[in-house]
Chain A
């Protein structure tokens, strides 16, 4: 699997929708997806349409009695794109947390006691 950003999944709402559909459920119903993502009906409708048009999401519509029911699931292409995007995000998160560790571990140089602490390049910080 290649870790690479996908511009279609990049917006936070679509990332939520795709990430939830990629969690492992076979199909997820409209209301369950809306509640879990914490978005409105209209936003979910609009964004799912974009994902469906791109071939990332498969939509199945049905009705139980008078209540319409819409179910979503990722297509194989969508699943692959989400995996790559999530792997890329995980790499970014790792890079950010590694940077934070470096800043926390950076020690002031002798004579810098009264100076504010600065993040040092790794080469200087290791001496």
Chain B
């Protein structure tokens, strides 16, 4: 077996191997589509709570969104062969995107509710659509950050 002591480029080789591993973490098309559906469900809540008949509850939509999130995480691990941590802030380079996801999510829900209360339905739908697009972009940025951390070995707990 080859020995590191006779191979001064061992760390350099490890960097290349980590880079190869990180490159596998490319989201398939269905992952991003699933993320878009997930956030569309979440941003539909202000509409459903206002416009659905009384007695129809919002929580099944949220349960469906959580189920989709779990399914997507499992599917991404299966497709890429890399299971990343579910904790949003575990990876330092993905943290800004993680914060953006939370901020955009909260801001969109508040804005939608505000617009719906004033009867500006079209504007609320436009805000929801923009927020979904922003969340998909933020999710891609977060995966880019995770890839960067895997390359640098900075994602270790």
Q: What residues make up the interface of A, taking CB atoms closer than 8 Å to B?
A: 10-13, 15-16, 19-20, 22-33, 35-38, 64, 71, 79, 83, 86, 89-90, 93, 96
Contacts and interface: CB of A to CB of B under 8 A. Distances in A.
B10 A25 contact: no
Residue among B7, B83, B91 with the highest chain A CB neighbour number at 10 A: B83
B156 A23 contact: yes
A65 to B, nearest CB: 11
Contacts of A83: 156
Interface in B115-157: 146, 149-151, 153-157
A90 B8 CA distance: 11
Residue among B4, B7, B11, B85 with the highest chain A CB neighbour number at 10 A: B4
Given A26-B83, A28-B21, 13 more contacts: A11-B4, A19-B17, A19-B18, A23-B21, A24-B150, A25-B84, A32-B81, A36-B17, A36-B20, A64-B78, A89-B11, A93-B11, A96-B8
Given A24-B91, A79-B156, A10 B21 contact: no
B17 to A, nearest CB: 5
B2 A12 contact: yes
Contacts of A35: 20, 24
User: What interface size band does chain B fall in?
Assistant: 35 or more
B110 interface: no
27 contacts: A10-B3, A10-B4, A11-B3, A12-B1, A13-B2, A15-B10, A19-B14, A19-B18, A23-B21, A23-B150, A23-B153, A23-B156, A24-B84, A24-B85, A24-B146, A25-B84, A25-B155, A26-B84, A29-B82, A29-B83, A32-B80, A35-B24, A36-B17, A36-B20, A38-B20, A79-B157, A90-B11
A26 B84 CA distance: 5
A96 B8 CA distance: 9
B64 interface: no
A71 B83 contact: yes
A5 to B, nearest CB: 9
Nearest to B19: A36
A36 B14 contact: no
Secondary structure at the A interface, as helix, strand, loop or mixed, is: helix
Given A19-B14, A20-B21, A25 B82 contact: yes
A23 B22 contact: yes
B50 interface: no
B84 A15 contact: no
